[in-house]
Chains A and B, each alone.
Chain A
Amino acid sequence: MTSSSAASRKALSKIACSRLQKELVEWEVNPPTGFKHKVTDNLQRWIIEVVGAPGTLYESEKYQLQVDFPEHYPMEAPQVIFLHPAPLHPHIYSNGHICLDILYDSWSPAMTVSSVCISILSMLSSSTAKQRPADNDRYVKNCRNGRSPKETRWWFHDDKV
């Protein structure tokens, strides 16, 4: 079943569209520090460049986030993954999937792309070791057919990193 990936292919609802446009305007006026939105004409998929925060393991390293919005955003969380190459992080799989609760169970429609970005950067910044998750290989293998991270039943066990 591909609920989320299928949903992301559906056109945005009217509410989702207007909400995203507002977010984009807000982003342009006040982008989160360390992030840059690569301008495209696709409102439903944002590519965001993130620069590792100074003083962290990822200082000055640049990565790209891909944010796909489902038809019923913001009621449903956007799908957020790192494009290749994904940063080495205990909660980021080599296929770019991110184990972060707010992207799944703890998503709230009150969150925004901006707040999600800040959370991801915070997650990066608090890392103490550059390493892949322990089950990286197994998980990535399971996702070979292009499975969306939103179809994963995540288990959020680590609140330190």
Chain B
Amino acid sequence: MDLVPSCRDKLAYFRIKELKDVLTQLGLAKQGKKQDLVDRILALLSDEQVSRSQSWAKKNSIGKDRVAKIIDDTYRKMQVHGAPDLASKSHSGSDFNHMKPKEEMDDSYQLDMKVRCLCGRSFITESMIKCEDLRCQVWQHYDCVIIPEKPMEGVSPEPPTHFYCELCRIKRADPFWVTVGQPLLPLKLTSSGITEGTNTVQTVERTFQLSRGEREMLQKTEYDLQVWCILLNDKVPFRMQWPQYADLQVNGVMMRVVGRPGSQLLGINGRDDGPVITTCSREGINKICLSRCDTRVFCFGIRIAKRRTVQQVLNLVPNEADGEHFEDALARVRRCIGGGTNTENADSDSDLEVVAESVTVNLRCPMSGSRIKIAGRFKPCVHMGCFDLETFIELNQRSRKWQCPICLKNYSLENIIIDPYFNRITSLLRTCGEDVNEIDVKPDGCWRTKAECEFWELAQWHKPDGTPCATTDSEIKPDLENSRQLKQDGKSEGHAGLRLGIKRNRNGAWEISKPADMKPPSSGSHGLGNLENRCQNIIPTSSSPTGSYRDGEDPSVNQEVGGHIDLSLNNGHEFDSLSLNFGPTYNVEGRIPAAPLQDPDIIVLSDSDEDNLTTISPENAFDTGPAGGSTIPFPVNHPGLSERYPEDLGLGTSGTSCLGLFNSNGDDFGMPLWPMHTGPQTGPGFQLFETDADIPDALVDSHNPLGCATINGYGLTSDGGLEDASRVQDFSNCRSSTDMNGSLVDNPRAFGSDDPSLQIFLPSGPAGMMQADLPDHTEMPKIHSDDWISLTLAAGGGHGESTSANGLNPGQQLAPKESSTEPLEDAASLLLSMNDDRANMASSNAKRSDNSFSHPCQPRSVRPRLNLSIDIDSD
């Protein structure tokens, strides 16, 4: 069957003259329409035609091969003839400006010049345009195929940036069909002279022939006879489009052309289909009749098409290595992720700059919602978003859109490639659970999984090519030693100035970064032993400290973790890995590698703490909590954390209490727990934040308030109007400051005084706020106090209980804490009412802590919240 299509293609290029030449050589009649001549020649090529035709029986001596040879010879003659013509004209004609220079240099193409136009004539005019398809490269008459949007007198329309002939457009419109034959060549449907008024119905009638071979072919399931139609100047080049009120009859059978109402135009997002007329076609002569009521210029034809399967179409997509260089993909990712940062730096006066060491990239396919298996993309797209290749191909089998789901640009299958950067990642993640959908990507292209997965190593930073980054063990080890020293030092006073940078991340969440001016780790804080222990635990768990924390955590979770980290930092551990991106990342000086983030911090809050480190961290946690707001966080369990817990328990009650809190959170939905216990109004300091976050409405909006709150807390801004959360934060700030023991270097309020500072502080500004808030938040303080030994320490100056808190017995701590809280309550009448609740809370906390002990594995924590208790103590 190869003979027929190839001859038919050649015949399509023939002018009447060539056709007559061929017919003469074959001894056949030369009169009739052009199509008739073509049909006559083609008939010779099919067996059945020859045998059936009486008049040709005697000419059977003319074999099909001979016919084909005659056609071939004529075809070649025509081309040789045409080439010089073209060469001379192509340089003079201004219309050829669309030709690419390199094409002009290509001699072979000139020799091969093919002219095939919708007008049916193959002569060369001064204005021609060539199909861009490399295997087609057919020339068409500019005026025949380039239709201006609006009719213009005497002005030739601008050449399109890309031009494809109608056959190549149809080919791209639906790669699931392969054209194998064209019983009816493309036919231009022009509107009659009357362009005004769409009421004129125009009808075109044609006949086409199907040979027996073709009919037999059409019996196979993968072959069909299809009528297609395109709008010549369609803005979406690769799609079918039927005229308005199109009405199609094949052999008298009405065919439904489009699903939309006849009057409705095809939207830019719509796709028409080509009706399959296999069943109503027959061997021999067929009649087709198309009427329409549309003034635009269309082109329609009939083709025999073979279906491709999804797998076959998938195979048309070039291999990963062939589609794009890895370096190009990496450059795109770097530009997409790093580019934003540069612009932000340029815009230095924004308070809401985003400081991101890495950006979270969702690996979900926008079409399926599942994680991408093979990362596909359209090569020309500038964004880095990908889709799942198989899903995309499968969906397009029916939709035929070939539209980028991310930027909505229209392409065709040939533009699809496999993204070498993301495909490496998705390949590595292939065995991960379905819940692993996000990765962090640094501006340099390094990445790691965000969610925790069974393959722990994937949560470590990887180089762009997928190999794990070198770990920072060397740095960490010294830290560990320091931490041990700290433990030994026990209650030695260490002041570490912490800077808090609050920034807003792209999610609208506030991030706190602490580039801290930490004092040498040696200056351990008392009661921090717990913290220290944690730090030690942490380090061993993950090669890179950050990696362990970050993995798979929700932003909120991260923040919490951050809190822990801070503690450890205080101890002197350096965490390089803490990702700035996430809301609250605290950078200890030692960590510095991450440092860039620090600079960007807009708001710098400095806290110097002995014990405070813990308190600070909680604050951070709060801040982060709000940022995380939308996510309600705690559920994540980290192996690393679990390991920590055991040690914490051993350390002291404070540690345990923290754990308890965590546990409770872990069991419950996390944030909600606190509110639950406290009662509606109770918002434990940290918890307060959390509660805010819990409030559905607050989720979205909460970020801003929170951020403000934190700021206020630090004393940078004093707003009476702040929400509860802000007030709470104030408390926390106070606490932290008190804890700081005068270490607060940067803090404007400079709590300089040790324990007393807290007292002073409260009355000064926040006091009023405190009282007002207390009713709501009273529970908070108690809880915190219970939880945190460190808190008691800070308050300790006043109550002296702090020491007890330092004591390892949790039970003792609780008692003192409660007492400490009471004074506060007295101070504020409102508080008194809350007392009962608080007591309950405390008890509940204690219980939780016990639970935590029993279940060390349960995660993390929210310890930070505990800090609030300190405030109460100060009062």
Contact = CB atoms under 8 A, between A and B. Distances in A.
Interface of A: 1, 3, 15, 18-19, 22-23, 26, 30-31, 33, 72, 74-76, 104-110, 151, 153
B395 interface: yes
Interface in B578-614: none
Interface of B: 258-262, 264-265, 267-269, 366-370, 385, 391, 394-396, 398-399, 401, 403, 405-406, 408, 630-631, 696-697, 699-701
Contacts of B269: 104-107
B405 A109 contact: yes
Contact of A72 (B369, B399, B631, B700): B399
A26 B630 CA distance: 12
Contacts of A15: 367-368, 391, 394-395
Contact of B370 (A22, A72, A153): A22
B369 A110 contact: no
Nearest to B265: A153
B267 A151 contact: no
A18 B370 CA distance: 9
A3 B367 contact: no
Nearest to A31: B696
19 contacts: A1-B258, A1-B259, A3-B259, A18-B369, A18-B370, A22-B369, A26-B369, A30-B630, A31-B696, A33-B700, A72-B395, A75-B395, A75-B398, A108-B405, A108-B408, A109-B405, A110-B366, A151-B264, A153-B265
A18 B396 CA distance: 17
Given A72-B398, A105-B268, 18 more contacts: A15-B391, A15-B394, A15-B395, A18-B368, A18-B370, A22-B368, A22-B370, A30-B631, A31-B696, A33-B700, A75-B398, A75-B399, A104-B269, A108-B408, A109-B367, A110-B367, A110-B406, A153-B267
B395 A153 contact: no
If over half of A's interface residues share one DSSP class (helix, strand or loop), that class is named, otherwise mixed; here it is loop
A1 B260 contact: yes
The winner among A23, A75, A108, A153 for most chain B CB atoms within 10 A is A75
B266 to A, nearest CB: 9
A77 to B, nearest CB: 8
Contacts of A104: 267, 269
Nearest to B367: A109
Contacts of B391: 15
A106 B408 contact: yes
Contacts of A30: 630-631
Contacts of B699: 33
Given A110-B366, A151-B261, A76 B399 contact: yes
B433 to A, nearest CB: 14
A109 B396 CA distance: 11
Nearest to A112: B369
A76 B370 CA distance: 18
B419 to A, nearest CB: 16
B103 to A, nearest CB: 35
Nearest to B268: A105
A59 to B, nearest CB: 12
The winner among A1, A74, A109, A153 for most chain B CB atoms within 10 A is A109
Contacts of B367: 15, 19, 74-75, 109-110
Contacts of B398: 72, 75
B264 A153 contact: yes
B260 A151 contact: yes
Given A72-B395, A151-B260, A23 B406 contact: no
B260 A3 contact: yes
A108 B399 CA distance: 12
B267 A105 contact: yes
A22 B697 CA distance: 23
Contacts of A22: 368-370
A1 B261 contact: yes
A22 B406 CA distance: 19
A135 to B, nearest CB: 17
Nearest to A104: B267
Nearest to A25: B369
The winner among B258, B259, B391, B631 for most chain A CB atoms within 10 A is B259
Contacts of B406: 108, 110
A18 B394 CA distance: 14
A113 B403 CA distance: 20
Contacts of A151: 260-261, 264
A15 B268 CA distance: 24
Contacts of B366: 108-110
Nearest to B630: A30
Contacts of B265: 153
A83 B264 CA distance: 25
B369 A19 contact: yes
Contacts of B401: 75
A23 B369 CA distance: 7
A76 B366 CA distance: 13
Contact of A109 (B267, B395, B630): B395
A107 B268 CA distance: 10
B696 A33 contact: yes
A78 to B, nearest CB: 14
Contacts of A33: 696-697, 699-701
A18 to B, nearest CB: 7
A106 B396 CA distance: 17
A75 B408 CA distance: 12
A58 to B, nearest CB: 15
A30 B399 CA distance: 30
Contacts of A105: 267-269
The winner among A1, A26, A72 for most chain B CB atoms within 10 A is A1
A24 to B, nearest CB: 10
Contacts of A74: 367
Contacts of A26: 369
Contacts of A1: 258-262
B358 to A, nearest CB: 22
A110 B405 contact: yes
A109 B264 CA distance: 23
Contacts of B262: 1
Nearest to A14: B394
Contacts of B261: 1, 151
Contacts of B259: 1, 3
Contacts of A72: 395, 398-399
A66 B700 CA distance: 24
A45 B395 CA distance: 21
Nearest to B366: A110
Contacts of B368: 15, 18-19, 22
Contacts of B408: 106, 108
Nearest to B396: A75
Listed from nearest, the 9 A-B pairs whose CB atoms lie closest are A110-B366, A22-B369, A3-B259, A75-B399, A110-B405, A33-B700, A109-B405, A105-B267, A19-B369
A106 B701 CA distance: 28
Contacts of A31: 696
Contacts of A106: 269, 408
A28 to B, nearest CB: 12
A128 B809 CA distance: 63
The winner among B258, B396, B398, B631 for most chain A CB atoms within 10 A is B398
A128 to B, nearest CB: 22
A18 B259 CA distance: 26
Contacts of B697: 33
B699 to A, nearest CB: 6
A87 B367 CA distance: 31
The winner among B265, B267, B406 for most chain A CB atoms within 10 A is B267
A153 B265 CA distance: 7
A15 B393 CA distance: 12
A30 B554 CA distance: 13
A110 B408 CA distance: 9
Nearest to A32: B700
Nearest to A74: B367
B803 to A, nearest CB: 45
A22 B395 CA distance: 17
A55 B465 CA distance: 50
Contacts of B631: 30
